[in-house]
Amino acid sequence: MDMFVAKSDFDPTTGMVCGVQLSPQQARIFAALAHARSRGITIDSLIYAVWIESGKDEPETAAIAVRVVISRMRRKLKKVGLTIRNHWGFGYALEQQGRKAQDEKGQEPESKATMVEDGEQRPQADG
């Protein structure tokens, strides 16, 4: 599967992605998302990348903090044609705008989700 962000377009030491400046937390999340590519990554893995790998204690509100950081990242990454998609019940995936995530077989992940105004996915009601 092709990566849509070249290694030369992301500097984890400075947090620069395609000319957009990310905070240190955002840079760690971006690195984890880029490594997972469009397969996606669980929120627990993102928490590990942000706090545990950097030798910091994980706060009780870590999952909420990751969601807030991702919300801010979405605004920044939109400028360079990238988005972070929420896969309900799983986690997040980094995607090129206008291009949906696919699994290793080239299939879209099965999801009973629909987009809502804030960019998050919510389950659809059966019926």
What is 7-123's CATH topology? Arc Repressor Mutant, subunit A (1.10.10)
Place of tokens 């009601």: 125
Share the mean pLDDT of the chain. Answer: 76
CA distance 57 to 124: 36
- pLDDT tens, 58-70? 778 888 999 999 9
Contacts of 98 (CB under 8 A, 6+ apart): none
Query: What is the domain partition of the chain in residue ranges?
Result: 7-123
pLDDT at 57: 74
